[in-house]
């Protein structure tokens, strides 16, 4: 079952919000430890009196969803599906801080209400008065993919549906400090554009919010999401290569049918090794692109890759900043996305030109 991408909106550390394609100017960050989203003018989408009761990530989520619906021309989705690795961290921190400070007495319920992982999907439904199916998935690196798989099941039963599927994860100072001590990030400030030049352990953390309108019938679409596959903790590179090869075979394709590979290269020389092995192995001679120097590493960063693939397929142009080497494909029909989160959660997407 194919899912046609009828519209998309994304908030990221780049100026991607409100753009019909890839932004003409890339924002490079110099001497930074993490990347934060460039926020929009919320008042254009949310009443200021309502927005003042929302946390930052909730406002970003609602804005992205409303912009996606506006872009697709569909004002009422038949379902709202969301995926998040860590949920609304800022509100969770506020609630836990309040519990500690007030010794579990006289607590403000708002941070708790907004700390639950399904807050954004619920806020979107409230904003548009949608009473249809609403679900949020929290499966670490498989969170967004779980939402997409739910969408595929819905479309298989009823291709007439239009489904709003999104992903969100935010970064806070506290979460950065905690995960930095775990050795997940670079231990010194870096330049985002030079992320591959450091050859050290750790990546550059980021955040993002993305929403896609998916339908089962072909129309005026950005691209086609043909298939999604997830696999957990493979036993070495040979198994990964076999899975990638079989994934393509199941779709009646060979590696030669792929015009571009978007890889989740994040600047950690140890975990990036598998991408370069695929580049030299089963996916050899295919043009490669990468994206995490643009948005950073986070649990649902594959949503940025899906947006990037959709834009490339629609515009038939790969931004120079995304090319891993100076090899730009011509006549882009199919893009393969491969990403993994800390070598545990591995995902494959097959996208296609409409």
Q: Across residues 150-174, what is the average pLDDT?
A: 97
pTM of the prediction? Answer: 0.96
Q: Which of 5-14, 103-112, 218-227 has the lowest mean pLDDT?
A: 103-112
pLDDT of residue 199: 85
Cα–Cα dist 123/71, whole Å: 19
pLDDT of residue 97: 87
Instruction: Spell out the domains of the chain, with CATH numbers in brackets.
Output: 3-215 (3.40.47.10), 224-352 (3.40.47.10)
Q: Is the pLDDT of residue 344 over 80?
A: yes
pLDDT of residue 103: 81
Cα–Cα dist 80/133, whole Å: 6
Cα–Cα dist 336/317, whole Å: 15
199 Rama class: left (phi>0) / alpha (psi -120 to 50) / beta: left
Q: What are 105-144's pLDDT values in tens digits? A: 877 787 788 788 999 999 999 999 999 999 999 999 999 9
pLDDT band at 250 (very low <50, low <70, confident <90, very high): very high
The 10 Å CB-count burial string (b at 16+, else e) for 83-101 is bbbbbbbbbbbbbeebeee
pLDDT band at 12 (very low <50, low <70, confident <90, very high): very high
pLDDT of residue 185: 97
């Amino acid at each position: 079952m194919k899912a046609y991408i009828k519209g998309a909106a994304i908030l990221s550390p780049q100026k991607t919000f409100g753009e019909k394609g890839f932004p003409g100017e890339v924002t490079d960050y110099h001497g930074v430890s993490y990347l934060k989203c460039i926020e929009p003018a919320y008042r254009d989408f949310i009443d200021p009196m309502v927005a003042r009761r929302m946390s930052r990530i909730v406002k970003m989520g609602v804005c992205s969803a409303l912009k996606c619906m506006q872009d697709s021309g569909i004002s009422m989705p038949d379902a709202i599906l969301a995926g998040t690795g860590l949920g609304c961290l800022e509100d969770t921190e506020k609630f836990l801080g309040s519990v500690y400070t007030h010794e579990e007495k006289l607590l403000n319920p708002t941070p708790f209400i907004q700390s639950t992982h399904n807050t954004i999907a619920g806020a979107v439904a409230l904003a548009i008065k949608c009473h249809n199916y609403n679900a949020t998935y929290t499966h670490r690196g498989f969170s967004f993919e779980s939402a997409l798989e739910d969408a595929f099941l819905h479309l298989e039963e009823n291709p007439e549906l239009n489904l709003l599927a999104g992903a969100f994860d935010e970064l806070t100072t506290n979460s950065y400090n905690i995960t930095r001590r775990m050795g997940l990030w670079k231990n010194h400030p870096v330049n985002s554009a030079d992320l591959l030049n450091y050859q050290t352990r750790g990546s550059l953390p980021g955040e993002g919010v993305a929403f896609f309108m998916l339908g089962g019938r072909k129309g005026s679409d950005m691209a086609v999401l043909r298939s999604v596959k997830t696999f957990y903790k493979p036993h070495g590179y040979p198994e990964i290569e076999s899975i990638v090869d079989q994934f393509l075979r199941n779709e009646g394709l060979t590696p030669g049918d792929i015009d571009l590979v978007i890889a989740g290269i994040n600047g950690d020389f140890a975990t990036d090794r598998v991408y370069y092995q695929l580049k030299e192995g089963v996916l050899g001679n295919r043009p490669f692109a990468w994206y995490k120097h643009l948005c950073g590493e986070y649990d649902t960063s594959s949503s940025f890759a899906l947006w990037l693939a959709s834009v490339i397929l629609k515009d038939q142009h790969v931004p120079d900043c995304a090319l891993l080497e100076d090899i730009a494909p011509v006549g882009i029909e199919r893009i393969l996305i491969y990403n993994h989160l800390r070598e545990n959660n591995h995902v494959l997407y097959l996208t296609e030109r409409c």
